Amino acid sequence: MSVWKLIKLNFGRSPAHFGELGIGIEETSDRVRSDALFSAWVSVYARLFGKNAVEELLQRFPSEKHPQLIPPLRISSTFIYRQENEHTIYYLPRPLKFPINYPAEDLEFFKTYKKLNYLPLEVWQRWYQGEGFIGGDAEELKTETKGKSNGHLRQLGTFDYKKAFEIDQIPKIAVDRVTRATNLYHTGFVQFRSDNNPSGLYFLVQLSPEGDKLADQLKAALHLLGEEGLGGERSSGAGRFEIEWLELPETWQSIVDFSAGNYHTLMSLFWDIPIKTEFLNNASYEIKERGGWITENQLRRKMVRMFSEGSVFKEEPQGKLVDVTPIQLVDDKGKYKFHPIYRSGISLSLSINIKEK
């Protein structure tokens, strides 16, 4: 029996820089994906508990060499939450298939619907685990396409996702170490609301019985990660947060316990090999290239392509750790000169009901 936790990251007045492959330092994402969160978490875990402890932890995850292992934990990517008075709005990625009762032939509001990359928890649950799309939804989306609606979807925060944060570019000066010449550049930062109705990031954790025994260590490592910061520009104080390690609220519990769905949608990135052709039958998915640098030696990790959040599959995806160790760190006999570098493709998904063709 697995145990679920809801983790909230409260950044307060601390800005953050979340880089993505393919965008410059001038840009920033508004959230952190599951593989980057996993890498940062495990890195801090290693410093806190030592080399042997982290190696023992990683050996429990399924990989190409040990595909049948049950991972001690699965984590989602981070997503936005927004506080509105006494109510917390959690945003979830919209699955890449239409909900039940969606009028696919009606194109009048499709442009507005397509922009809804994230849905409030209540809307997401009704569309994908409940009665589905209703006539009132269609009428409100049509109104929103022409102007600004004031219906049920707006009251739940469906169109207010970007109210939770602001993204700004901050000018910085680089000084050449030899010539002392200066160069002006800009760095993008995301700033979450920190007023009476604060916002931040959250993610889900699914712990196996073995993983639940490590909960205290994982929690301690996450606290330390919050003190050091998540993302880039940490030397400037960016990315620092405080955590709330919470039991699942009742609504969330009903969502993760839902088992009557006909498909599964990703709440994390997902990588596996081999992928059977049948697995992709009737699937809807997007692919993200994931790369980056190794902090210790400034070498670039191997590039890997993963299925992104919101992707939908008939079968429940599982995932593996993928070895992204650069060629420079592996000798002719295949032994590591440094230590293996892994990226997490371990998936976390939710059961959903969607419209069949």
Phi-psi group of 22: left, alpha or beta (phi > 0 → left; psi -120 to 50 → alpha; rest → beta): left
Q: What are the φ/ψ torsions at residue 279 (nearest 5 degrees)?
A: -65, -30
User: CB-side exposure of 68: number of CA atoms within 13 Å?
Assistant: 0
Contact in structure between 333 and 315 (CB atoms under 8 Å): no
User: Using CA atoms, how far apart are residues 82 and 161, in angstroms rounded to an integer?
Assistant: 8
User: Using CA atoms, how far apart are residues 206 and 215, in angstroms rounded to an integer?
Assistant: 11
Q: What are the φ/ψ torsions at residue 321 (nearest 5 degrees)?
A: -75, 140
- Angle ∠(139,108,131) on CA atoms, nearest 5: 45
What separation, in Å, do the N-terminal and C-terminal C-alpha atoms of the chain show? 34
pLDDT tens, residue by residue, 28-66? 899 999 999 999 999 999 999 998 999 999 999 999 888
Nearest to 343 by CA among 50, 47, 5, 33: 33
How do the residues of the chain divide into helix, strand and coil, expressed in percent and rounded to 5? Answer: 25, 30, 45
- Residue 10: strand pairing partners: 242
Contact in structure between 93 and 270 (CB atoms under 8 Å): no
Q: Please report the pLDDT score of residue 331 as a whole number.
A: 65
pTM of the predicted model, to two decimals? 0.91
- Helix or strand holding residue 142 (H, E): helix 135-146
The single-letter code of the amino acid at 233 is E
pLDDT tens, residue by residue, 224-281? 999 999 998 888 889 999 999 999 999 999 999 999 999 999 999 999 999 989 999 9
Tokens standing for residue 285: 């998915």
Counting beta carbons within 10 angstroms of the beta carbon of residue 136, is it exposed (0 to 12), middle (13 to 18) or buried (19 or more)? Answer: exposed
User: Using CA atoms, how far apart are residues 122 and 250, in angstroms rounded to an integer?
Assistant: 12
Q: Please report the pLDDT score of residue 178 as a whole number.
A: 86
Q: Please report the pLDDT score of residue 295 as a whole number.
A: 64
Tally the residues of the chain: 357
Contact in structure between 164 and 193 (CB atoms under 8 Å): yes
pLDDT (average), residues 142-170: 88
Q: Please report the pLDDT score of residue 181 as a whole number.
A: 86
Q: Residue 301: helix, strand or coil by DSSP?
A: coil
User: Using CA atoms, how far apart are residues 352 and 357, in angstroms rounded to an integer?
Assistant: 15
pLDDT tens, residue by residue, 98-149? 999 998 777 888 888 999 999 999 999 999 999 999 888 989 998 888 777 7
Nearest to 204 by CA among 82, 90, 312: 90
- Helix or strand holding residue 187 (H, E): strand 182-192
Hey, what's the torsion of the CAs at 53, 55, 58, 60, to 10 degrees?
A: -80
Q: What is the DSSP letter of 183?
A: E
Residue 298 reports pLDDT greater than 70: no
For the chain, count helices (H), then strands (E).
9, 16
The single-letter code of the amino acid at 280 is L
